[in-house]
């Protein structure tokens, strides 16, 4: 079936123009990534519905509090047995693949993140599904582009299309999906990328909407319009969200590093599972993603969140309730870090929304009961979600439009902009790099805010290939070579056999001293004169890697091959000329 589909797509590629095929590819990637997100979301929602159905008191919830340990064990077994211990998490890995691996991701990434995150979060691990969805969608896009021999630039955009579709499908928020791909994955994007990203995100969101409807997806309805008299309170929430975001990043990183420092895998899993068990007995809303508890907050039903807690008997008044909800802000950070650090798979997207929701609700309720003002608790719950998400990921546009889309309108646009902007400013002032930015900088061993490599990688390698080099057969004689040299304008000659395979190179400077020796002209073969290229460029490589090869070999021209078959040459001078033009255009 797969081979048949592959043949159909190749035929489609031959019949359509490159631009038409690329748009069609973005639709396929968007639908595939959206379907992956739907499957993952449905499984986790099913487990969550069982918990809500059977765990009505803390005695009944006791068993479910053990489930995260089971999920961690199953996840680690899968990673060790199926993946042989080789498994990378987080959006930093995706950006690293764009910069250093020519936007190539392992084929197994199309399913491994789905399985591991389903086991982790499905069994109650206190983390989010969005990062695995991004990794899965990115792998789908990258492998589609690689299978159908698209250029690095096109493959990178399809990778981002998969990520955008995953986020769009998770929240039915296509604009947020597009902006996430641009803000987090593509640091410098041209106008040509917008149409494929929009098409992919819309495809993923549409599929999610058709299959899941509104029941599973996170959605809210605004009850009170924006009141400009509350601007000062929104400013305070924005600053608080920024401070909490920094706390989130520092605590999360510290716990994750301490957990990973434990050499014995099963000791780490056991410790993590026991910690999560204790946390969830006290704070049941930590179970799983926690989106249902956010809905309870937004619906102004916080009392529903404490019924399955062992602390329920001690909740005598609203002060106790607010202390419980306030503690959840910090407990969620700890639970998410423990879940991932002890071997689970997930991300910080969901937890940051959780933390923001509780921060906003507690702040608004405190203001209301203290008499400082009368502010809408639902609105503050929502805008604080955007604030913490923006502060953790340094993605203000994504957070603004995500909340706008899941509330079904733009009634909160002004407070969303205030809170997201202030949170990002505070976070960036205290921590120049986001959590994922730090991980990426460590992997690259260089600052990620240097855009040189990203500008280089924007260049399309296929546009740099020069094909006006005269090829020569390895069995040709020196005399044949001289005849080719006589009509050529180049001084390098690729040696190519009948199967178009590149075997070596002839440099005119190397044969100048024997060219006019008549004794050798009929007897000496080209294969005796050719030399091995100092380096060979694959047509799927990114331009940053190509420039590194020029620097390492001190060459000005390098051959390009596609699956071993000769394509042409790339010159260092033309590459640098293109780079300078791109640099000028980006200023």
- The rounded distance, in Å, linking the Cα atoms of 411 and 222 is 8
Question: Is 584's pLDDT higher than 70?
Answer: no
Task: Give the CATH architecture of domain 457-586.
Answer: Roll (3.10)
Give residue-wise pLDDT tens across range 218-259.
777 766 888 889 999 999 999 999 999 999 999 999 998 998
For 493, the 3-state DSSP assignment is strand
Query: Which pLDDT score is estimated for 587?
Result: 47
Arithmetic mean of pLDDT over the chain: 87
pTM, two decimals, is: 0.80
Query: Which pLDDT score is estimated for 369?
Result: 93
How many Cα atoms occupy the beta-carbon half-sphere of 417 within 13 Å? 6
Give residue-wise pLDDT tens across range 199-225.
999 999 999 989 887 666 777 776 688
Beta pairing class for 537-538 and 557-562: parallel
- The rounded distance, in Å, linking the Cα atoms of 479 and 515 is 8
523: confidence class by pLDDT, cuts 50, 70, 90: confident
535: confidence class by pLDDT, cuts 50, 70, 90: very high
Q: Do domains 2-217 and 228-444 have the same CATH topology?
A: yes
Among all chains, which residue has been given the structure tokens 């329920």? Answer: 312
Minimum mean pLDDT among 41-55, 329-343, 426-440, 565-579: which range?
41-55
Taken as a whole, the chain contains a residue count of 587
Query: Which pLDDT score is estimated for 216?
Result: 66
Question: Is 5's pLDDT higher than 80?
Answer: no
- The rounded distance, in Å, linking the Cα atoms of 130 and 115 is 13
Question: Is 91's pLDDT higher than 50?
Answer: yes
Q: What is the mean pLDDT of residues 439-463?
A: 67
Structure tokens at 167: 């986020």
Query: Which pLDDT score is estimated for 536?
Result: 95
Choice between 493 and 14, residue whose per-residue pLDDT is larger? 493
Number of other CB atoms surrounding residue 171 within 10 Å: 24
Give residue-wise pLDDT tens across range 302-340.
888 887 778 777 777 788 889 999 999 999 999 999 999
Structure tokens at 529: 């004169």
> Secondary structure of 269-288 in the HEC alphabet?
HHHHHHHHHHHHHHCHHHCC
Give residue-wise pLDDT tens across range 153-166.
888 899 999 999 99
Phi and psi at residue 109, in whole multiples of 5°?
-65, -15
For 351, the 3-state DSSP assignment is helix
Minimum mean pLDDT among 8-22, 50-64, 407-421: which range?
50-64
Options 3.30.379.10, 3.60.15.10, 3.40.50.300, 1.10.3080.10; CATH for 228-444 is 1.10.3080.10
The CATH code that applies to domain 2-217 is 1.10.3080.10
Where are the chain's structural domains? 2-217, 228-444, 457-586
Q: What is the mean pLDDT of residues 90-116?
A: 84
Beta pairing class for 502-507 and 557-562: unpaired
* Angle subtended at Cα 436 by Cα 430 and Cα 441, rounded to the nearest 5 degrees: 85
- The rounded distance, in Å, linking the Cα atoms of 162 and 290 is 25
Query: Which pLDDT score is estimated for 303?
Result: 81
- The rounded distance, in Å, linking the Cα atoms of 47 and 523 is 78
Q: What is the mean pLDDT of residues 4-24?
A: 77
């Amino acid at each position: 079936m797969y081979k048949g589909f592959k043949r159909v797509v190749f035929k489609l590629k031959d019949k359509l123009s490159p631009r038409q095929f690329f748009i069609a590819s973005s639709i396929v990637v968007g639908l595939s990534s959206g379907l992956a997100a739907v499957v993952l979301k449905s499984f986790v929602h099913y487990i969550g519905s069982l918990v809500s159905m059977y765990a009505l008191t803390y005695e009944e919830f006791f068993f479910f509090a053990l489930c995260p340990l089971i999920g961690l064990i199953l996840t680690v077994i899968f990673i060790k047995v199926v993946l042989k211990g080789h498994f990378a998490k987080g959006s930093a890995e995706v950006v690293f693949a764009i910069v250093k691996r020519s936007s190539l991701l392992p084929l197994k990434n199309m399913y491994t993140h789905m399985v591991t995150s389903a086991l982790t979060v499905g069994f109650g691990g206190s983390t989010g599904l969005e990062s695995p969805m991004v990794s899965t969608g990115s792998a789908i896009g990258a492998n589609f582009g690689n299978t159908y021999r698209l250029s690095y630039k096109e493959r990178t955009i399809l990778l981002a299309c998969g990520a955008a579709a995953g986020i769009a499908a998770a929240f039915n928020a296509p604009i947020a999906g597009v902006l996430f791909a641009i803000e987090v994955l593509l640091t410098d994007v041209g106008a040509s990328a917008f149409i494929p990203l929009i098409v992919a995100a819309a495809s993923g969101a549409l599929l999610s909407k058709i299959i899941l409807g509104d029941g599973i997806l996170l959605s809210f309805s605004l009850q009170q319009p924006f009141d400009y008299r509350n601007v000062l309170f929104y400013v305070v929430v924005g600053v608080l969200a920024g401070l909490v975001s920094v706390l989130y990043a520092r605590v999360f990183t510290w716990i994750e590093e301490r957990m990973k420092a434990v050499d014995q895998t099963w000791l780490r899993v056991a410790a993590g599972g026991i910690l999560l068990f204790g946390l969830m007995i006290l704070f049941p809303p930590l179970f799983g993603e926690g989106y249902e508890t956010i809905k309870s907050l937004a619906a102004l039903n916080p009392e529903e969140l404490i019924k399955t807690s062992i602390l329920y008997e001690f909740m005598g008044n609203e002060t106790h309730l607010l202390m419980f909800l306030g503690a959840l802000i910090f407990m969620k950070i700890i639970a998410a870090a423990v879940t991932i650090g002890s071997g689970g798979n997930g991300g910080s997207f969901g937890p940051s929304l959780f933390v923001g929701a509780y921060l906003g609700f507690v702040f608004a309720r405190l203001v209301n009961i203290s008499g400082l003002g009368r502010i809408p608790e639902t609105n503050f719950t929502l805008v604080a979600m955007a604030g913490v998400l923006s502060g953790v990921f340094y993605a203000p546009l994504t957070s603004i439009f995500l909340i706008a889309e899941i509330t079904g309108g733009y009634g909160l646009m002004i407070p969303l902009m205030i809170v997201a902007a202030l949170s990002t400013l505070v976070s960036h002032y205290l921590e120049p790099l986001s959590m994922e930015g730090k991980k990426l900088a460590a992997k690259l061993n260089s600052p990620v805010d240097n855009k040189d490599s990203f500008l280089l990688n924007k260049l399309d390698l296929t546009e740099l290939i020069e094909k006006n080099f005269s090829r020569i057969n390895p069995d040709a004689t020196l005399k044949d070579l001289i005849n080719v040299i006589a009509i050529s304008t180049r001084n390098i000659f690729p040696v190519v056999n009948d199967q178009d395979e590149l075997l070596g190179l002839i440099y005119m400077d190397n044969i100048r001293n024997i060219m006019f020796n008549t004794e050798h002209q009929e007897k000496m073969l080209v294969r005796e004169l050719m030399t091995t290229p100092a380096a060979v460029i694959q047509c799927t490589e990114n331009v940053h890697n190509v420039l590194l090869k020029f620097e390492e070999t001190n060459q000005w021209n390098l051959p390009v091959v596609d699956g071993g078959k000769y394509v042409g040459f790339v010159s260092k001078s033309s590459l640098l000329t293109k780079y300078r033009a791109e640099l000028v255009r980006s200023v």
